[in-house]
């Protein structure tokens, strides 16, 4: 059908509008262009021009990750871009929370991307949990004697010092298996190891949950009675432990081994604020060791405790770092 005179006159203008829209959408610059002079009088062109550049600016901002960009333009396309912008802002917030260690966050508004994001978050949460558990196990192992499972000396001293720093008194008990070297020489080191493990279990079973026990070195063990107020309390505990050790039977290579132990007890008392806690503990351990050697000198299989702050008199220990048989 032939165009009317009015339609024929408007065809070039429509073509110009189409060309302008296409050029505006495909323009490779981010700088706003002016509306051509010949289109300024066309009804609605000013609004169309503003809408096109509003869409371009918002799309350009999104492509650069500028999620705070805002525009006053309205409409379906702009609204869709704004919705995507809001989702990306929320996703950024979720990612920040995960980065802060809140691994339970999930997203459900970006389709396949949400699925991938949530799988990543779940795997990250699982990996972090496993790493924490592994780290906790390694930390626990680093604090334990490999043979007996008791605390090692370093961990024992750290924990006992921490208790004393909290203002709690305590009592130290130094314990040594009598004639342990003869067990190794007579039955072999495997029986010696079995003896140490069984002896450690017996000591641990005779203590309260809050008390500390470590393998101090060789066949020598150290106990810290948390909250105990005098060496008399330690003497009572040590005597109970001594009798329990006497009842211990250790099967090894067809033999039922029996052992006894000697005990030395020293008190610490309630630390004053100006005390050097580490030195206070080390001194208490030294005095417990003196008491232990006094028990050895008295015939073994007995308990010696200091009276007040004075350890019992005994011949000087020949090797403070070693163990008297």
From 37, 43, 219, 270, active-site residue? 219
Closest CA to 174 of 237, 259, 246: 237
Q: Which tokens hold the place of 223?
A: 């106990």
- CA dist 293 and 68 (Å) reads 76
Closest CA to 203 of 244, 231, 163: 244
Residues forming beta bridges with residue 174, ordered by sequence position: 222, 264
Cα dist from 299 to 20, 240, 302, whole Å: 110, 18, 8
Cα dist from 179 to 169, 183, 260, whole Å: 33, 7, 8
Query: Would you mind telling me the total number of residues written for the chain in this entry?
Result: 325
- CA dist 106 and 95 (Å) reads 9
Q: Is 219 one of the annotated active-site residues of the chain?
A: yes
In terms of Cβ atoms closer than 10 Å to its own Cβ (0-12, 13-18, 19+), residue 189 is: exposed
- CA dist 198 and 258 (Å) reads 11
**What residue spans of the chain are helical by DSSP H?**
5-26, 45-63, 76-99, 112-142, 153-165, 180-187, 189-205, 231-246, 277-297
User: Residues 99, 105, 109, 111: is their CA dihedral positive or negative?
Assistant: positive
Q: Which tokens hold the place of 299?
A: 């015939």
- B/e letters for 118-157, b = 16+ CB within 10 Å, e = fewer, are eeebeeebeeeeeeeeeeeeeeeeebbbeebebbbbebbb
Instruction: With residue 264 as reference, give the H or E element that holds it.
Output: strand 261-267
Which residues form the catalytic set?
A: 219
């Amino acid at each position: 059908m032939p165009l009317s005179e009015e339609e024929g006159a408007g065809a070039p203008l429509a073509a110009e509008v189409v060309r302008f829209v296409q050029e505006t959408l495909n323009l490779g610059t981010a700088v706003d262009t002016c509306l051509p002079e010949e289109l300024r009088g066309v009804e609605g062109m000013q609004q169309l021009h503003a809408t096109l550049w509003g869409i371009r600016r918002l799309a350009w901002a999104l492509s650069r990750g500028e999620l705070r960009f805002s525009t006053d333009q309205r409409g379906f396309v702009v609204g869709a871009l704004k919705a995507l912008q809001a989702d990306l802002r929320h996703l950024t917030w979720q990612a920040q929370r995960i980065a802060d260690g809140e691994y339970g966050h999930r997203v459900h508004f970006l389709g396949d991307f949400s699925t991938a994001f949530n799988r990543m978050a779940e795997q990250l949460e699982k990996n972090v949990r496993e790493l924490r558990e592994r780290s906790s196990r390694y930390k626990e192992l680093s604090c334990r004697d490999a043979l007996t499972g008791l605390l090692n000396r370093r961990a024992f001293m750290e924990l006992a010092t921490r208790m004393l720093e909290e203002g709690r008194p305590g009592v130290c008990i130094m314990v040594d298996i009598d004639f342990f070297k003869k067990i190794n020489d007579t039955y072999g080191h495997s029986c010696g190891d079995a003896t140490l493990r069984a002896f450690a279990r017996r000591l641990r079973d005779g203590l309260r949950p809050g008390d500390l026990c470590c393998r101090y070195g060789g066949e020598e063990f150290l106990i810290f009675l948390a909250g105990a107020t005098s060496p008399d309390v330690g003497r009572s505990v040590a005597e109970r432990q001594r009798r329990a050790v006497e009842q211990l039977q250790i099967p090894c290579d067809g033999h039922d081994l029996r052992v006894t132990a000697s005990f030395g007890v020293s008190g610490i008392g309630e630390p004053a604020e100006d005390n050097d806690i580490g030195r206070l503990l080390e001194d208490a351990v030294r005095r417990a060791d003196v008491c232990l050697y006094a028990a050895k000198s008295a015939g073994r299989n007995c308990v010696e405790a200091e009276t007040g702050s004075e350890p019992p008199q005994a011949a000087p220990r020949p090797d403070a770092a070693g163990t008297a048989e």
